[in-house]
C-alpha cells in the first residue's frame, strides 16, 4: 500500500459519453480549433526555405510617416481628453444616460450641426451660441450642483 503525500502524483481520468469526443477505445479526444491550412505560412523552416529559393524576404510591417509639426504635444491632448471626461462626469445622470455614459458620443453629438437644437434643449449650449459650428471651451456649459441638490448649468 502506498502512502500519499501532497507531492504524490495523481492520475487524472476524464470520462466522456459523447461519441464525437471519444475515439474507438473510449478515450477522450479533444477537438482542435487550430486551422491547419495555415501550417506552412507559420513554419519558420518553410519561410526560410522560400527565402533561400526565391529571395523573397519575410513580409515587413507597413509604416507611415506624417508631418505632425502643426499638432500640439501629447500632454496637451491628454489634458483635453481628461478635461472632457471630467466635464462629462459632472453632467446630470439623465444626460449622461442619453449618451450611454460615453463622452465620445457626446463629442460626436456636439460636432454634428443637426443636433444644435437638441443640445440647447438639453442645456449643453446656450441658444445664442448654437449657431457656431464647433463649441469653444468657453461656450460649453459646466453643470454645478446647487444648494438645493438640483444641478444647474453654469458657463465655464
Kindly tell me if the per-residue pLDDT of 101 is higher than 80. yes
pLDDT band at 10 (very low <50, low <70, confident <90, very high): confident
Residue 114 falls within a domain, yes or no? yes
| CA 111 – CA 35 distance, rounded (Å) | 45
94 within domain boundaries: yes
Cβ(84)–Cβ(103) under 8 Å? yes
Q: For residue 115, is it within any domain? A: yes
Structural domains of the chain, count = 1
pLDDT level of residue 99 (50, 70, 90 thresholds): very high
**Count of CB atoms situated within 10 Å of the CB of 126:** 15
The grid coordinates listed for 40 are 506552412
Give phi and psi for 101, each to the nearest 5.
Answer: 55, 35
Half-sphere exposure of 23 (CA within 13 A, CB side): 5
Within-domain flag for 68: no
Q: C-alpha grid cell for residue 109?
A: 453629438
Please give the helix or strand (H or E) that residue 144 lies within, else none: strand 141-145
Give yes or no for residue 156 having a pLDDT over 50: no
Report the C-alpha gap between 86 and 80 in whole angstroms.
10
Other CB atoms within a 10 A radius of the CB of residue 125 amount to 23
Residue 39, in any domain of the structure: no
Q: In the predicted model, is pLDDT for residue 155 greater than 50?
A: no
Structural domain harbouring 126? 79-155
Residue 18 has pLDDT above 60, yes or no: yes
Residue pLDDT, tens place only, 102-145: 999 999 999 998 998 898 888 888 877 545 555 555 555 555 55
Q: Tens digits of per-residue pLDDT, 25-78?
A: 767 677 667 788 888 888 888 888 888 888 877 666 677 777 777 778 888 889
Within a domain: 87: yes
Task: Tell me if the pTM is above 0.75.
Answer: no
Q: Which of 99, 100, 101 is nearest to 110 (CA)?
A: 99
pLDDT attached to residue 138: 55
Query: Would 84 be classed as within a structural domain?
Result: yes
Helical segments of 24-89, H only:
39-42, 44-54, 74-89
Looking at the domain assignment, is residue 25 inside a domain?
no
Amino acid at each position: 500500500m502506498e502512502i500519499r503525500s501532497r507531492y504524490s502524483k495523481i492520475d487524472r481520468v476524464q470520462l466522456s459519453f459523447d461519441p464525437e469526443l471519444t475515439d474507438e477505445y473510449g478515450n477522450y479526444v479533444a477537438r482542435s480549433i487550430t486551422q491547419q491550412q495555415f501550417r506552412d505560412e507559420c513554419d519558420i523552416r518553410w519561410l526560410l526555405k522560400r527565402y533561400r529559393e526565391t529571395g523573397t524576404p519575410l513580409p515587413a510591417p507597413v509604416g507611415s510617416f506624417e508631418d505632425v509639426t502643426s499638432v500640439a504635444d501629447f500632454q496637451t491632448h491628454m489634458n483635453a481628453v481628461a478635461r472632457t471626461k471630467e466635464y462629462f462626469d459632472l453632467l446630470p445622470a439623465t444626460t449622461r444616460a442619453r449618451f450611454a455614459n460615453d463622452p465620445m458620443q457626446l463629442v460626436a453629438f456636439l460636432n454634428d450641426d443637426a443636433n444644435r437644437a437638441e443640445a440647447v434643449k438639453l442645456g449643453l449650449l446656450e441658444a445664442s451660441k448654437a449657431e457656431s459650428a464647433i463649441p469653444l471651451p468657453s461656450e460649453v456649459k459646466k453643470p454645478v450642483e446647487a444648494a438645493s441638490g438640483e444641478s444647474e448649468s453654469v458657463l465655464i
